[in-house]
Amino acid sequence: MAELNSSIILLLVVLISTRLLSSANSVYNIAEYGAKSDGRTDSTKSLLGAWQAACGSPGPSTVHVPAGSFLVRQVTFNGPCKSSKIVIRIDGTLVLASDLGRVGGWIVFDHVEGVSVYGGTIDGRGASLWACKATGRRCPGGATSLTFRNSKRIMISGLTSMNSELYHVVIDDCEGVTLQGRHGISIGSLGKGYDEEGVENVTVKTTVFTGTENGLRIKTWGRPSEGFVKGVVFEHAVMQNVRNPIIIDQNYCPDNKGCPDQNSGVKISQVRYNDIYGSSASQVAVNFDCSASNPCTGIGLQDIKLTYGHSPAESSCKHADGTTSGFVVPPSCL
């Protein structure tokens, strides 16, 4: 009987220990995998090694990027993972290796679930590529700094993205994505391809834009497409000297190539703006430049207060229809 009781107690201890082990948070510091914080040594393999360890962990895990500057080349973090909760904690700066010719993504997460990125800075070092493009020469397309694709339950909070070669953050074919502490948002460019799928049910809230070219923007190519945008909510946004605080541009056509004199086929509907206030760097603070063949419908403006200098700003509407409620400054053109 005593032996039986001892066996039961031992079994319980093993079960409890296993449960505690699976629930404990395992931390994988990239410095322990050989990463150097000098901004010159390639730390790509070290970062990938820490990710693979975290991904294979049976419980919650953390990839830690300590203080310092870490050089990282293009890298993809693939899932699915055993761990259903992985935190990428960045206390330092990830710096893109400066060699022209990149396309696609710099830091890419693919088929992951339950991944959160907190704090820190990613530096795309795009100045050399921008200089190339400024000369009018034929230059590489550049790399998006951070991409999540085919993923679920994603959190990005307090991350600073600077000097991106192309886009700062791209979310592609994901579910349950939360972004906190960001300073720019653009839906688009959409409709470059005729069979492109639509975008729907997007909410952007509690954002601050400081000195940016655009604030809350939807942008589509001025060419035929079966795409659409619907069910979008922009709310609780502060604009500080933003050139285009609220803008829908359906005539995007860089260098007038491939789409001159064509109307956008992307149908935009049910887009709501609520509690947007602050200052505009241009007189036209609200600009709805919609498609002549597919006008914007169901646009809603509520409690908008945007100024230009010491005066109310202006609004401009082309092929747009909607409603206003509450106080709206500048006066609505819908």
What's the rounded Cα separation, in Å, for the pair 311 and 201? 35
* Nearest Cα to Cα of residue 200 among 231, 233, 170: 231
Q: Say which of 38, 91, 99, 172 is annotated catalytic.
A: 172
What's the rounded Cα separation, in Å, for the pair 46 and 104? 22
Contact criterion met (CB below 8 Å) for 165 and 184: no
What's the rounded Cα separation, in Å, for the pair 277 and 293? 31
- Beta-bridge partner residues of 113: 152
The pair of three-digit structure tokens given for residue 196, joined into one six-digit string: 């492109």
* Nearest Cα to Cα of residue 274 among 313, 296, 246, 316: 246
* Nearest Cα to Cα of residue 63 among 32, 87, 42, 81: 87
Q: Say which of 111, 183, 236, 303 is annotated catalytic.
A: 183
Active site residue 172: yes
The pair of three-digit structure tokens given for residue 334, joined into one six-digit string: 């819908």
Active site residue 183: yes
Angle at 114 between CA 108 and CA 119, to 5 degrees: 65
For residue 275, the SS3 value is strand
Which residues are identified as catalytic?
Answer: 172, 183
